[in-house]
Amino acid sequence: MVVIQLIVACASPQPKPKADATQKGQLTSTKVAEVIQGTSYTYLRVTDALSEKWVAVSRQEFTVGEELYLNLETAAVMENFHSKELNRDFPTILFVSTVSREPEMASAQMPAMGGKTPAGKKAAPVEANVKVEPAEGGITIAELYNKKANYSGKKVKLKGAVVKVNDQIMGRNWIHLQDGTKNGEDFDLTLTTQATVLVGDVITIEGVVALAKDFGAGYFYPLIIEDATIVK
């Protein structure tokens, strides 16, 4: 059995009954009525026994008429959502992080790493008890945040401890880096990379600073480092 969403696997040998939509955390059976592909998201018009609705999931292939099971209880609801890419307004759309072709529970996550989640809630990173000396010729996270306007669009070098990793979301790995320094409430740095790292690794990275980066669907980052590489 394959669950279609962000590296999720289930191995129950016996199929479970279809989920009751009234039970929190259960999957709801829907049928795909329309598919619109975007760059990062697939927009689906789905129907169930009671209603029709628009949902968005990380980009993948679906066909009209197939049955999908969605966790609507944990979906982020967006009212009057405008997709710049599609140039289309959705009165209501649900951003769903758990999708399956079989009626099994699964867990998955969208890349809520600093910025706003689709529900508009601030994701609060946890300040780790780390202290990492700056890389030679590099800067600290505090300095980056303090002088972010000066670093916008420029390549920077930082050293820090990996405190969180989300692999292969939207074709890249998302890493939280901390070095023990902070500027006001800013101490956690989000970066994207193709490199593979583990929580607890101390790494030195180089990447380009982007400010006010909007990935769509409410994922807005005041500051992020993109396409980072690990250096020695």
Burial 185-208 (b: 16+ CB within 10 A, else e): ebbbbbbbbeeebeeeeebbbbbb
Q: Please check whether residue 159 is in contact with residue 142, taking contact to mean a CB–CB distance below 8 angstroms.
A: no
pLDDT along the chain (232 residues), means of 10: 37 34 63 90 89 88 91 81 87 84 53 39 65 94 94 94 83 89 92 91 94 69 91 86
Residue whose token pair is 């807005």: 220
pLDDT of amino acid 146: 94
Cβ(98)–Cβ(73) below 8 Å: no
Q: What domains are there in the chain, each with its CATH number?
A: 1-110 (2.40.50), 141-231 (2.40.50.140)
E strand map for 107-219: 155-169, 172-178, 189-193, 202-214
Angle at 108 between CA 58 and CA 85, to 5 degrees: 15
What string of DSSP letters covers 85-120? TTTEEEEEEEE-S-EESSS---------SSSB-TT-
- Phi, psi values for residue 148, rounded to 5°: -60, -35
Name the residue with tokens 């910025």. Answer: 115
